[in-house]
């Protein structure tokens, strides 16, 4: 079942640019908590399960998004108030700091009505992080790392992943939700 209201999907500034340019068509998010045994995705029911799904202690994981769900891009922004107390929002670092105090907020603090961009989830699957293909890494919106004569999108994605999740997070090879996304506004 799809959600009636758009949910936030947080992107870094570089990934917002890639999304707007049409280069970001996929995003990966950690499965939480991480499964410790068998783990399978079922398209027909929209969830994954561990071990035997018929056993009484089977664990079920549901992704935050299902195909058809709408989202808005939650991005870094700056806020201030005008003379009447109304919120002012900017997406570039403000330069008029002499007469107004601006505060920077991460995307997780962005309101739906301030969103500049929206999209829809078109597909969901689950896989190990390092199982990402070169094509999927390119669809993540990263710029390739030049390795000799070829462009390496997987390596660029690994660098992006570690910049977000910390050193060594790529080597842990966690389970991730893979969302295929499409821009609508």
How far is residue 173's CA from residue 153's CA, in Å, rounded to a whole number?
17
For the chain, how many structural domains are there in total? 2
Residue 2 has pLDDT above 60, yes or no: no
Both 59 and 38 in a single domain? yes
Both 19 and 100 in a single domain? no
Q: Is 150 a member of any domain?
A: no
Both 15 and 61 in a single domain? yes
Question: What's the average model confidence in pLDDT over 150-155?
Answer: 85
Question: What's the average model confidence in pLDDT over 111-118?
Answer: 94
Residue 107 has pLDDT above 80, yes or no: yes
Q: Is 32 a member of any domain?
A: yes
CATH number, domain with residue 117: 2.30.130
Residue 89 belongs to domain spanning: 76-105
Q: Tokens in use for 80? A: 């201030």
Both 120 and 31 in a single domain? yes
Both 84 and 41 in a single domain? no
Both 177 and 86 in a single domain? no
Both 12 and 60 in a single domain? yes
Both 114 and 88 in a single domain? no
Question: What's the average model confidence in pLDDT over 66-80?
Answer: 94
Q: Is 30 a member of any domain?
A: yes
Both 39 and 126 in a single domain? yes
Both 36 and 48 in a single domain? yes
Q: Radius of gyration of the chain from Cα atoms? A: 19
The pLDDT value recorded for residue 3 is: 58
Both 96 and 30 in a single domain? no
Q: Which of 39, 37, 118, 30 is nearest to 74 (CA)?
A: 118
Both 65 and 115 in a single domain? yes
How far is residue 44's CA from residue 67's CA, in Å, rounded to a whole number?
11
Question: What's the average model confidence in pLDDT over 88-97?
Answer: 81
């Amino acid at each position: 079942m799809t959600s009636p209201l758009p949910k936030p999907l947080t992107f870094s500034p570089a990934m917002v640019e890639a999304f707007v340019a049409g280069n970001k068509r996929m995003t990966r998010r950690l499965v939480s908590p991480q499964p410790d045994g068998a783990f399978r995705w079922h398209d027909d029911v929209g969830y994954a399960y561990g071990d035997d799904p018929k056993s009484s202690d089977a664990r079920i994981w549901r992704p935050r998004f299902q195909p058809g769900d709408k989202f808005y891009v939650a991005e870094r922004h700056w806020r201030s108030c005008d003379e009447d107390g109304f919120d002012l929002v900017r997406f570039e670092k403000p330069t008029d700091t002499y007469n107004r105090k601006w505060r920077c907020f991460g995307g997780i603090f962005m309101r739906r009505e301030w969103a500049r961009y929206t999209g829809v989830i078109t597909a969901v699957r689950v896989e190990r992080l390092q199982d990402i293909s070169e094509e999927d890494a390119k669809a993540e919106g990263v710029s390739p790392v030049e390795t000799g004569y070829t462009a390496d999108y997987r390596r660029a994605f690994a660098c992006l992943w570690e910049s977000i999740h910390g050193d060594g997070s790529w080597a842990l090879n966690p389970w991730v939700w893979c969302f295929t996304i499409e821009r609508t506004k």
